[in-house]
Amino acid sequence: MSYSKNSDFKDRAVTTLRLQQMKQAGMKISCLTAYDYTTAKIIDDAGIDLILVGDSLGNIVQGNETTISVSLEDTIYHTRYVAKAATRALVVGDMPFMSYQVTSNEAFRNAGRLMKETGCAAVKLEGAGEVVLDAVKRMTDSGIPVMGHLGLTPQSINQFGSYRARGKDASEADKIFDDARKLQDAGAFAVTLEKIPAVLGQKITENLSIPTIGIGAGPHCDGQILVYTDMLGITKDFSPRFVRRYTDLHATITDAITRYQEDVREGSFPNSEESY
């Protein structure tokens, strides 16, 4: 089955195969994060193609400075309810720090647990080191779809020392490009490219047969992903260049809570029609 740019795709369940077909047809892939049932249902009903239960839950849900502290149990808990809500979008569970870097055997077991206990359709992991590539191959050979993640990899923040863009010098750009091809060769169905120059994002996208999902990687990637609290304007203290805020829910929610508080204090809520 193939798809044209004008295909009615909204009501069809998204699979890794359909993401591949979308790339081939030149159809852009829309992706967002989610961490709970209610939000995931809204996102899924809106027609988003892929929902990532990112380890960004460490920042958004837990209030931590980095994603390092997120556990496999945390990821399983949140992914379970996102997968329960999504009937169309492909749900990807993000493997947290130290759940896949030790040995490929441990990574394989943890990925299997993540899928089996949550119902998600795929897992995501960062980097392309020897253990990671071995893990990707073993997972994909056994039927676990894997999305890679290159460029700025937040789980390596203590090694990088900052959240600056990656791949701006030639040697690092070449390594990211080579790593993307290695992930594809290992069997990854897609790769996330985070905070790299647009020209590098374009080069990788044009040279891979699997979809690229960009976040701060330019307009040429096959798809784009944002943290939903950023694009909805819920978070106020994080404003990188790659985030476009489509509304200001922080202000909307604050106003609603303020008016509710005033009504309670004034005794106008609840009124007679809101009482039994």
Q: Which residues are catalytic?
A: 194
SS (H, E, C) 52-96: EECCCHHHHCCCCCCCCCCCHHHHHHHHHHHHHHCCCCEEEEECC
Q: Is 68 left (phi over 0), alpha (psi -120 to 50) or beta?
A: alpha
Element (H, E) at 257: helix 249-266
CA dihedral for 60, 65, 66, 71, sign (positive or negative): negative
In whole angstroms, how far apart are CA 261 and each of 132, 254, 271? 51, 11, 14
CB of 201 closer than 8 Å to CB of 214: yes
Tokens (6 digits) for 210: 């699997």
Contacts of 103 by beta carbon, 8 Å cutoff, 6+ apart: 131
User: How buried is 131 (Cβ within 10 angstroms: 0-12 exposed, 13-18 middle, 19+ buried)?
Assistant: middle
